[in-house]
Every structure is written in structure tokens, then in C-alpha cells.
Amino acid sequence: MPHYKNILQNRQDAALQLRDVIPMQKLKEESWNLIGVSKGGLDLCHRIRGKLKNNIDFLFSEAIMAPNNPECEVARVSEHEEIVLNESLIHAFEIQYDYIYGEAHRKHEEDILSYVYQYRKGRHFPSMKDKVVLLVDEGSETGSKFMTALKTVLGMQPKAVYIAVAVLPSDVVEILEPYVDNIYFIHEIDDYVETSLYYKEFEDIKEETIEKLLEESK
């Protein structure tokens, strides 16, 4: 694990290296839609796209935490109210499904809808029917953001779905592979700790940056 620390300088470095593994000519010719599944993912979308004209967007989701452990994510809900469950944790903590669905509805109404109005000015996430989609993130500790985004996007009947992620655990690669056409990544790590560990610089994405990127993408 120590030799992986700070293997990426920053998000710009991650984007440049991802551009080397993503088929950029195909991305351009097929007009891929670049979708961030996190704030950092949206920033990467912008940097990967560069001067190309591909659409970029943000697919919002919120974590649902265990009632007796506010740091443990047991489910996630998307802006289309699709829910992805971590069944093993739900059973381990003996959490009632009524709690999960209640929290999912609350998170959607109180948090996600406010993001939609703040960052997209009320514009809903567009249909990806018959389109090529590239889901993007700076790292993935559990795969839950990607799985939630996949549940939303695959329900729209896209032409193809790919994932681009700078670093991710080996077991998450195995989880995601059956659902996508390909996964483009820089580093696959067996003993993954947390995403920020692998970046020398890992600054928070400011709200105004998100608003600006989504405004430019329209």
C-alpha cells in the first residue's frame, strides 16, 4: 500500500493519464456523454473533454447511512429515486427496509432536489436513450456511486456505457465489469484505503465551480 501513496499529482494529472487509456477519437466521433458521479468526477469530465464539444453533466446521488453508525453507507439513492442497497451491511446492522426507503425519500426531497435547482437551475437529468455514456469519477472506494448511476442510466436504454476512473479497488472492478462495455482506469489497487490518499493534491470542489461547469455544458 505505501508505494501507491500520492501516485497522482492532482485531478489534472489524473485526467491526462485517463486520456491516454480512453479511446479519445472514438469519444469524439461517437459524441460520448461524459457524466460525473461526484463533484470530483464532474471536474474530471471537464478536464478529459478538453476542447472537444462532448456534453458533460452530473448525476446526483446521496448516501444513506446506518442509523447507529453515521460513517457507514448502507445504501444510495439517485436523483431518479433508484436505490442501490448494500444487503450484507443492512443485514449485519439489522436495519429495517422501511428505514432505508424512508431515508431515500427524505434525501431525495431535501438534498438531491435542492442540488438540481442550485446547480442545474431545475433542469432534470436528460435521457440517455440510444446514447453512449461515460461515467466518470476520481476514485471509487466501494463502487456505490457507479452502481447507483448505472441503475439510472441503464434504465434509459443507452447504446453503450463505459466507466472512467483514476483509481479503484480490484474487487470493485469485478463488481462493475458485468454492467458496462468497458472500464478505463489508471490504477487498480488490492488494498484500497481512501481516494484522497492516492492524490498529492486533493482540493475540495467549490460550489461555484460546479455551477460554472454545468452552465458551460448546456
pTM of the model: 0.94
pLDDT of residue 217: 72
pLDDT of residue 1: 46
Task: Give the sheet arrangement for strand 56-58, strand by strand.
Answer: 56-58, 33-36, 132-139, 160-169, 182-189
Pair 57, 126: CB distance under 8 Å? yes
* Region(s) of the chain under CATH 3.30.1310: 61-119
Q: Quote the CA–CA distance of 129 and 126 in Å, as a whole number.
A: 9
Contacts of 208 by beta carbon, 8 Å cutoff, 6+ apart: none
pLDDT of residue 83: 96
Q: Quote the CA–CA distance of 141 and 195 in Å, as a whole number.
A: 7
Q: 61-119 maps to which CATH number?
A: 3.30.1310
Q: Quote the CA–CA distance of 43 and 40 in Å, as a whole number.
A: 5
Mean pLDDT by 10 residues, the chain (218 residues): 78 97 97 97 96 95 94 95 95 94 97 94 93 98 96 97 97 96 96 93 92 82
* Region(s) of the chain under CATH 3.40.50.2020: 2-59+129-217
Does CATH number 3.40.50.2020 belong to domain 2-59+129-217?
yes
Beta strands in the chain (DSSP E): 33-36, 56-58, 61-66, 69-78, 83-85, 132-139, 160-169, 182-189
Q: Quote the CA–CA distance of 78 and 152 in Å, as a whole number.
A: 7
Contacts of 68 by beta carbon, 8 Å cutoff, 6+ apart: 93
- Per the listing, cell 487509456 goes with 21
Pair 97, 127: CB distance under 8 Å? no
